[in-house]
A and B are shown apart, each in its own frame.
Chain A
Amino acid sequence: MIRGGLNCLLKLALVGVWLPIAARADGARGIPQHLGDTGLYVAGSLSQVNSDVLPFSPQYPLWSDGAAKRRWIWLPPGTSIDASRPDAWEFPIGTRLWKEFAHGRALETRYLERAADGNWRFGSYVWNADGSDAVLAPAAGLRDLPAPLSMTRESRDSPGERYTIPSENDCRACHEGAPVAVLGFSALQLSPDRDPLAPHAERLAGSVDLRQLAARGLLRNLPQEFLTHPPRIAAANPAERAALGYLHGNCGNCHNDEGPLAVLDMTLAQRVAAPAPGAVLRSIVGVQSQFVPAGAPADAARIAPGHLAASVIAARMSSRDPLEQMPPLGTAAVDREALALVARWIEGLPVHSSSN
């Protein structure tokens, strides 16, 4: 009963009740109230992207319940990215990034802007049904929006068939777990040596890669070897390369050895600068999991070589129980293609392999 009433309220909100409220209330967040004012599109248009806004396509994208995604970046004229730390690029003040999520039609466009004080500002713009406007969502996000039909077809196991706009805190949970807040725009993600087995890695037309960025003068201090030998994950076989890449793109934002979750002694983030060979594998293969799902043995491993059912990482990837699922936010549907890839990799690991 309560849930029904809540859903009804949210449906009312969707048809426009909340829009003027949000437009008035969120001015303190320091970003425009309408997507049309963020500089993504030509003035007066909500479809024609500005010519100085560059599309890009990470090779290991984040799974978002099957949403089709488009991404863009804009750098202020005359500025460039300092790539002297290849795993933590320094973006100039004023940098803007956008990511559009669509299921049949655009639903939301997330926005990231580096403010004058050096901090990053986060927002998400919610599209109306006819695509004539996209308005900044409340900082608390929006839960349980009715999912569009195309989404329910693609993600039939999505509990409640809902669509969620993340809160600003949820944005920060992922984006501030890594050394730099910009995710998916890095030397490895933009490497022209793209992984052919990476799931959901459709490339947006005209996307810039590492070499093109360097040629345009948008990267400075990039070590020359990254252009002659583009970054590539070292792996025993193609399935391992793609599986590690998927874990990098979907988990490494939080599970790395520099951010707040370094206390877990588990890194899924790949390094391209002075990589420690096998660092990721050593932290997961044959290593006892601190979290033990219900019904699993107390000594269950993060990755149990050759034994999918005993691998906690795979178990948590395949769960959408909110107490157990990984990632813990931003998804309500299991990524079956990725799960199959990770399963293939785990089952192919030699049983004697472990961290020690």
Chain B
Amino acid sequence: MQSLKMLVRIAFVVAASFARAAEPPAPAPNHGQSEGVTRGKYLVDTSGCHDCHTPFKMTETGPARDMERMLSGHPEQLELPPAPPANGPWLVSMAGTGTAFAGPWGTSFAANLTGDKDTGLGKWTSRTFIDTIRTGRHLGRGREILPPMPIPVYKNFTDQDLTAIFAYLQSIPAVKNKVPVPRPPVAAAAAANTAAGS
């Protein structure tokens, strides 16, 4: 019952965040930041990036975004058991942090978007970032980026907007957090192992 209440609270917070994104947002104030960074913050704040990439934590007043881990993705300390099987019409599961998702594609973990050089985007260039969003492939040329990342929407950003978003992400505090690699769906993993071993 307690966990049901928590889920309801999380659902409310998530729904509220989407609702806020739909409202006309006020432009972010400029505190001496470059125009690109300011524009990037505005786009990040209004495009739902926090919804998946900033984890929720439980507080005395209910779930809230953990801004000390802002945009650092799924917390590496939170090891998750295998996702429940996707049966019937309910195909997708979400962890309470809002940073891990399971569905027919397997289990995906929101990436660390901060500028940490070892675990985030610290070594990326704006070209790497643009290539990634345009192609929907990790680093612009690797595996496909998984749901629920809205690549079909974000790939329509202009190069200028993507450059601004990247500039903002590089300006926020770097968080060292090594996000787990995605897990394949159980059936696909078994098939791949069989093929590789045959």
Q: Which residues of A contact B (CB under 8 A)?
A: 156-157, 159, 169-170, 172-174, 177, 254, 260-261, 263-264, 291-294, 318-325, 328-329, 334
Whether the Cβ atoms of A260 and B131 lie closer than 8 Å is yes
Minimum Cβ distance to chain A for residue B73 (Å): 15
Q: Which of B17-25, B53-61, B140-148 contacts A (4 or more CB under 8 A)?
A: B140-148
Whether the Cβ atoms of A157 and B198 lie closer than 8 Å is yes
Determine the residue in chain A with the shortest Cβ distance to B124.
A263
Whether the Cβ atoms of B182 and A157 lie closer than 8 Å is no
Minimum Cβ distance to chain B for residue A356 (Å): 18
Whether the Cβ atoms of A322 and B144 lie closer than 8 Å is yes
**A-B contact number at CB 8 A:** 76
Minimum Cβ distance to chain A for residue B196 (Å): 5
CB-defined contacts of A173 to chain B, threshold 8 Å: 135, 137, 140-141
B16 at the interface (CB under 8 A from A): no
Q: Which residues of B contact A (CB under 8 A)?
A: 106, 123-125, 127-128, 131, 134-135, 137-144, 146, 181-184, 188-189, 191-192, 195-196, 198
- In this complex, the member of B135, B183, B192 whose beta carbon has the largest number of chain A beta carbons within 10 angstroms is B192
6 closest A-B pairs (Cβ-Cβ)? A321-B192, A263-B123, A157-B195, A173-B141, A169-B135, A318-B196
> Can you give 27 A-B contacts (C-beta < 8 A)?
A157-B198, A159-B192, A169-B137, A172-B135, A254-B141, A260-B131, A260-B139, A260-B140, A260-B141, A263-B124, A263-B128, A292-B181, A293-B181, A294-B183, A319-B192, A319-B196, A320-B195, A320-B196, A321-B184, A321-B189, A323-B146, A323-B181, A323-B182, A324-B143, A324-B184, A324-B192, A328-B142
Whether the Cβ atoms of A323 and B125 lie closer than 8 Å is no
- In this complex, the member of A319, A321, A334 whose beta carbon has the largest number of chain B beta carbons within 10 angstroms is A321
Whether the Cβ atoms of B191 and A159 lie closer than 8 Å is yes
Minimum Cβ distance to chain A for residue B140 (Å): 6
Minimum Cβ distance to chain B for residue A235 (Å): 27
User: How many angstroms from the CA of A263 to the CA of B128 in the assembled complex?
Assistant: 9
Minimum Cβ distance to chain B for residue A181 (Å): 13
